[in-house]
Structure 1
Amino acid sequence: METIDYKQNISTQYCFPGNNQSCKKEVRGSPAYIFLFIVLSCISVCTVFLNLLVIISISHFKQLHTPTNLLILSLAVADFLVGLFVMPMKIMQVYDSCWYLGKLACSLTEIIIGILVLASLCNLVFIAVDRYIAISDPLLYSTRVTPLKMSVSIIMGWSFCLVYVLVFMYCNDHLYPDQMYNTCYGECIVFVKFSWTIANMIVFFLTPCSSILILYSLIFNMARHQAKAVRAAMNSHGQGTKVSNSSETKAAKTLGVVIFFYLSFWIPFYISSLTVTSLTTLSVLWTVFTWLMFINSFVNPLIYAIFYPWFRVSAKYIVTCRIFESSSSNMNLYRSH
């Protein structure tokens, strides 16, 4: 088997040639890196576009102004900002190892990344809670969950993300630029204490993952029991088996898709985080796991929005510019086709 020496494709330079303390610059210009750059750029663009469709749809059409859709809107905003801000920054670090924006921008960037990623997870948990309430108590759902209560919950969720990230950065000496430690000029590295690595795993992964697994398991069981009740009620009409199988299959598919993508994107990242003390883009494996976490923002609108019929209708109106028509906000998105 032929061995390829990738070091021959990397030319070593300096980030700031006029500075004696400058970091070495790795310009990754091999065909493999160029292909990776193109793929990641396409993912970033698609993430922005898909989540923007969700944001415009829910914001524009009055029929979509429901508590559940407010959660989807909040999730789309977080994922949209990940695609618009976080992904391009990380793409540049994949292509060029240098950080040219200084310590202040480095600190702010890590704060923003932390807030957006944690907010995305927080919204996923809220969506699971919302669906659980809707299934377990459908008659009182409209009184227990109102747009005002949901808006307050969303604000509290984003506030928690902000406070947690600020405390995290402060305790790891990265909140202020003067506190940040760099081995050379031109790098942006966050050194994480092991105690905070464990805290991150609990807050970012174990807690939301356990919550989503438990809630969707309860949802699945309740949906199965409801399907059995419908089957029993319709046995006299000869349609019970068909309705029951359809309901159980739909619930199982939804549960499977949510859990599969959530776990597949987050488990590798947090398992590897236990062995990493500095968050950099120099490790290829660490870069792959980090990007799996970011790609979750691309998949979220596919799972939580595109599967809804109203999204396909609203996306068609947006793409064809029909939303600029008079009274377009009152269009019926649930009509039968």
Structure 2
Amino acid sequence: MCGNLLVIISIIYFKQLHTPTNYLILSLAVADLLVGVVVLPFSTILVVTSCWYLKDLLCMLRSSFDIFLSVASILNLCSISVDRYYAVCQPLSYRTKMNVRVIVVMILLSWTISAQIGIGITIQGLNEGQSNGCVLFQQTRRTIIGVFFAFYLPAIIMSSIYLKVYIVAQRQARSIQNITGQSKKSKAAVSKSERKATKTLAVVMGVFLLCWTPFFLCITFYHLSTYPIPIPLIETLKWLGLSNSMLNPLVYCFFYRWFR
């Protein structure tokens, strides 16, 4: 909560941070902050005690906000990868293609799709008679479809984009080396640039996949397999996924020198 709040205040306060890219980071920070403010208190209470007042209502709200805000965070990460693709791969047309209007549309789409997935899965569970809203996900026919659009599709898009960005960044670094000559200093600079690009992309994708992949694989196998998966294991994997909202400020903001 503190890290994401610091990101939000910094972007709003400093005018030099008012850029289209940072609007996406601001949207990501808002989603991650709401995960800490709204989702984690419900999850913590659920772990500590099973005796709630208005349990059915609170469990339904918890399920809806859990899915909604988690998916919003993931889709904002996907939008940031699209922005980085145009910034690195098409730098000359970047300012015209990724202007403020386009960024606002991407942010609105991320939040709208997330709300539809979160509310839709919860309502579908109620319609099918699943009154236990305190499960981490509703066992509906649409759950697999929701998981595909909430995680697998964004993960495929992000992986493909960042792989393309890495290849283009390497090509650009070698072109600079050819232009500046084959001196030891230029070779060292290019090698450092390539290592930094590799490290950045590895951290960005590594943190995301490490946090969310176990949980969504667990959900997938839960619906496709006949073997039961212990609820405590699913809870643990869900908390690992939610920890991505804590790590995002470190990866997407404090990782960059200009933002620090």
1: CA distance, partners of 2:137 / 2:91: 47
From the two aligned structures, give the one with the greater helix fraction. 2
Aligned-partner residue type, residue 295 of structure 1: S
Aligned to 2:60: 107
How far residue 243 of structure 1 moved from its aligned partner, in angstroms, is: 2.0
Aligned to 1:181: 131
Q: Residue 233 of structure 1 contacts residue 240 of structure 1 at CA under 8 Å; is this kept in 2?
A: no
Aligned to 2:185: 239
Aligned to 2:252: 304
Is residue 294 of structure 1 aligned with residue 242 of structure 2?
yes
Does the residue aligned with 1:311 lie in a helix, a strand or coil? coil
Change (3 A) 1:170 1:69: same
Q: Residue 103 of structure 1 contacts residue 180 of structure 1 at CA under 8 Å; is this kept in 2?
A: no
Tell me which moved more, 250-259 or 92-101: 92-101
Aligned to 1:230: 176
Over the aligned positions, Cα root-mean-square deviation in angstroms equals: 2.0
Aligned to 1:266: 212
1:195 to 130, 133, 141: 141
Tell me which moved more, 221-230 or 104-113: 104-113
Aligned-partner residue type, residue 246 of structure 2: F
1: CA distance, partners of 2:256 / 2:127: 41
Aligned to 1:156: 109
Change (3 A) 1:295 1:190: closer
1: CA distance, partners of 2:126 / 2:73: 25
Structure 2 unmatched runs, 5+? 224-229
2: CA distance, partners of 1:97 / 1:267: 28
1:16-165 map, 5 Å: 48-165=1-118
Change (3 A) 1:266 1:191: closer
Does the residue aligned with 1:192 lie in a helix, a strand or coil? coil
- The CA deviation string for residues 64-110 of structure 1, in whole angstroms up to 9 with x for no partner, is 01010000000000000111121121112111133333322322221
Aligned-partner residue type, residue 106 of structure 2: S
1:295-334 map, 5 Å: 295-312=243-260
Does the residue aligned with 2:52 lie in a helix, a strand or coil? coil
Q: Residue 121 of structure 1 contacts residue 204 of structure 1 at CA under 8 Å; is this kept in 2?
A: yes
How far residue 51 of structure 1 moved from its aligned partner, in angstroms, is: 0.2
How far residue 149 of structure 1 moved from its aligned partner, in angstroms, is: 1.8
2: CA distance, partners of 1:157 / 1:98: 35
Aligned-partner residue type, residue 202 of structure 1: F
2: CA distance, partners of 1:129 / 1:275: 30
TM-score normalised by the chain length of structure 2? 0.90
How far residue 139 of structure 1 moved from its aligned partner, in angstroms, is: 1.4
How far residue 113 of structure 1 moved from its aligned partner, in angstroms, is: 1.4
Change (3 A) 1:125 1:191: closer
Change (3 A) 1:234 1:111: same
Q: Residue 20 of structure 2 contacts residue 98 of structure 2 at CA under 8 Å; is this kept in 1?
A: yes
TM-score normalised by the chain length of structure 1? 0.71
How far residue 193 of structure 1 moved from its aligned partner, in angstroms, is: 3.1
Structure 1 unmatched runs, 5+? 1-47, 313-337
- The CA deviation string for residues 171-191 of structure 1, in whole angstroms up to 9 with x for no partner, is 22269xxx5524xxxx73366
Q: Residue 81 of structure 2 contacts residue 162 of structure 2 at CA under 8 Å; is this kept in 1?
A: yes
2: CA distance, partners of 1:52 / 1:304: 14
Q: Residue 56 of structure 2 contacts residue 131 of structure 2 at CA under 8 Å; is this kept in 1?
A: no
Change (3 A) 1:258 1:109: same
How far residue 285 of structure 1 moved from its aligned partner, in angstroms, is: 1.2
1: CA distance, partners of 2:207 / 2:218: 18
Aligned-partner residue type, residue 283 of structure 1: I
Computing the radius of gyration over CA atoms, which structure comes out larger, 1 or 2? Answer: 1
